Amino acid sequence: MQNNNMKTPILKTLHSKAVKGLLAITIITLAGVTACKKSSNSSTSATVTEADAAELTSDAIEPTTGGMTIQANSSVTIYAGASTKLSCGVSKDTTITGASVSGAVPSYSYSLNWNYKLDCDVSPQTFTFNFTGSSTYSGLLMSSNDSSTGTFMVSTTPSAANYTVNTSYERKGSQTSKIGKQNTFSSDLKITSSNVLISKTTNEIVSGTGTVSITGSTTGGKSFSFGGTITFKGNKQVTVVLNSGVSYLIQWN
């Protein structure tokens, strides 16, 4: 039985340069202590921890690492520009590329092929966006080289203050930790969300919920699996709760 007097710890995954730098230093120090205690272990004994999974989720969401928030922004931007111009049922294609400014930390780049269509048989009318392509990023704690796919369904009404977006987003590839033994692993991360609200004024996510699932294996052959919930809190903040019940706070500038 859970002790109701115990407080759930909260890890704040803050992607400002100063705070994340401090976090990286702290984790490196802890990793060094652990290495001293377990120096007899080979690198193949390493496994992916929940903290790794939380960082992977954070990087898949944040705009500073080219995460899904950037693609959500692209979808509503296209919607705003094409909703009154595109005929019902007609598909359009485009390629969207993006990259962080030179010297940025974290840094990212992506190239995605987009297909979108206006569905007039539902009310309100809905834009369906599908995209696929490649993505890379180099964060403070992890780097990644992967493929990205997604489906975003966007709708709104003239009087509404927000767009309503339902999403399916997947990143599959390989990652390398930048701390400890710098272990490499492969992963398949999927985020599914419904009724996410994005402001028409700022194009920022203001609320919504979703789920995340992560599976994969290390170079030593150890498999891992994590799952949990995502809550978009607005003000550039997201909370992620994974297997252990610990709440991880993600925020960016």
Lowest mean pLDDT segment, chosen from 27-31, 56-60, 204-208: 27-31
pLDDT at 43: 45
At how many degrees (to 10) do helices 50-61 and 68-82 cross? 20
Residues 162 and 133 sit within 8 Å (Cβ to Cβ): no
Would you say residue 59 has pLDDT above 80?
A: yes
Q: What values do phi and psi take at 176, rounded to 5?
A: -130, 125
Give the residue extent of every domain in the chain.
Answer: 10-251
Q: Please, which pLDDT band fits residue 179 given cuts at 50, 70 and 90?
A: confident
Q: What percent of the chain has pLDDT over 70?
A: 82
Task: State the pTM of this model.
Answer: 0.81
Residues in Cβ contact with 221 at an 8 Å cutoff, skipping those fewer than 6 apart: 44
Reported as a single tens digit per residue, the pLDDT across 77-128 is: 988 888 778 888 888 999 999 999 999 999 999 999 999 999 988 888 899 9
- Which two tokens mark 207? 């609320």
